[in-house]
């Protein structure tokens, strides 16, 4: 998905706020964002196998669902590590199928890949997606033997708004008080989470409030739709959405990336990387510079680009390092 598509979708929300409701504006923006997702899906499909060895599509997790892509190794008697992916879409669009080809690529490498089809806004508001990610993790534990997966070797992953959601889900696993405040009791332990992969993410929600221009107006409206609050930047109950402030040495190794034409890279991903490094967390950072043409938002899915293919290779290498057998989180080298 290009930066232009994100801008068009989010600006569509922002410009419409003065003449209609946030909900109807979000639905209008969704159409723009969904078109971009379909284009990205077509590119990824050219590089991915048509299916994983075994697929379970639409597994119920409460009111939501998840898709499970299993490698051949999952039926060979040795449980395989798991990647749980939360899709992007500015909290107001997207579906698990948007990342299906990418997850089939990961399954081909020997990982069980799970896409969480969480409920987007305005149909559901925060913290519903966090409950649904937690339900997906609980389902993995419940079906571990049936699916041949190892719930003690999980990597959480997400793109764009999904990067924010999955990182916040990680903070709930690491800090029980945060989870309890949202009515969540995680079934996995911190040591079960071996790594975090985040692309083109938003990590400081409050920071969006000080942005200027059309993109800022659109993002403001999208967060309004997600949180149900016009004053979301100042509400104490929503402070947990700004996950950079929650970074600690308890975080597992992290792979973080962003394109050089994506305005969120410098203003969101770079500070997140800096906070991780300051806390002593192993970081693999993939931030591109002086690319031609420049890399936009969600560049990692544009596998026609060599940079995206290099990011996929780095992702597979990262997964191998952090999910290696053994107790506790693995180690990844800074990049």
For residue 149, give the H/E element and its range.
Answer: strand 149-159
Q: Which of 295, 310, 311 is nearest to 3 (CA)?
A: 295
| Residue 160 annotated as catalytic | yes
Smallest CA-to-CA distance from 211 within 233, 229, 228 is with 233
Distances (CA, A) of 249 to 91, 120, 278, 329: 28, 31, 9, 12
Closest to 159 (Cα-Cα) out of 104, 83, 230: 83
Residue 156: other Cβ atoms inside 10 A: 27
**Catalytic, out of 96, 160, 242, 269:** 160
* Helical H segments across 209-296, by residue range: 214-227, 263-264, 270-278
Contact indicator for 57, 130 with CB cutoff of 8 Å: no
Give strand ranges (E) for 62-108.
Answer: 64-70, 80-86
Cβ(6)–Cβ(29) below 8 Å: no
> Residue 69 in 3-state DSSP?
strand
Residues making up the chain, counted from first to last: 335
The dihedrals phi and psi of 177, each to the nearest 5 degrees, come to -65, -35
Using CA atoms in the order 206, 211, 214, 219, what is the torsion angle rounded to 10 degrees? -10
Query: Would you name the residues annotated as active-site residues?
Result: 160
């Amino acid at each position: 998905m290009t930066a232009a598509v994100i801008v068009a979708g989010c600006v569509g929300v922002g410009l419409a706020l003065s003449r209609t409701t946030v909900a109807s504006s979000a639905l209008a923006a969704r159409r723009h964002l969904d078109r971009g997702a379909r284009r990205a899906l077509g590119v990824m499909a050219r590089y991915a196998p048509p299916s994983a060895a075994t697929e379970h599509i639409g597994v119920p997790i409460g009111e939501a669902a998840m898709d499970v892509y299993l490698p051949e190794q999952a039926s060979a008697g040795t449980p395989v590590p798991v990647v749980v992916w939360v899709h992007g879409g500015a909290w107001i669009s997207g579906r698990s199928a948007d990342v299906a080809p990418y997850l089939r690529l990961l399954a081909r490498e020997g990982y069980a890949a799970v896409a969480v089809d969480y409920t987007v806004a305005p149909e559901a508001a925060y913290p519903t997606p966090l409950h649904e990610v937690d339900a997906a993790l609980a389902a993995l534990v419940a079906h571990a033997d049936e699916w041949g997966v190892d719930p003690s070797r999980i990597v959480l992953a997400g793109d764009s708004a999904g990067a924010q959601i999955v990182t916040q889900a990680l903070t709930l696993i690491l800090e029980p008080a945060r989870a309890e405040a949202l009515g969540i009791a995680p079934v996995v332990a911190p040591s079960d989470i071996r790594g975090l992969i985040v692309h083109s993410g938003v990590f400081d929600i409050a920071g969006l409030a000080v942005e200027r221009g059309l993109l800022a107006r659109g993002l403001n409206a999208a967060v309004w739709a997600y949180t149900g609050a016009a004053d979301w930047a100042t509400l104490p109950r929503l402070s947990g959405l700004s996950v950079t402030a929650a970074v600690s040495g308890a975080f597992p190794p992290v792979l973080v990336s962003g394109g050089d034409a994506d305005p969120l890279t410098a203003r969101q991903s770079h500070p997140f990387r800096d906070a991780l490094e300051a806390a002593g967390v192993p970081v693999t950072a993939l931030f591109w510079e002086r690319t031609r043409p420049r890399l936009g938002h969600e560049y990692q899915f544009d596998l026609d680009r060599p940079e995206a293919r290099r990011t996929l290779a780095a992702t597979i290498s990262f997964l191998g390092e952090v999910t290696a057998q053994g107790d506790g989180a693995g180690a990844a080298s800074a990049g």
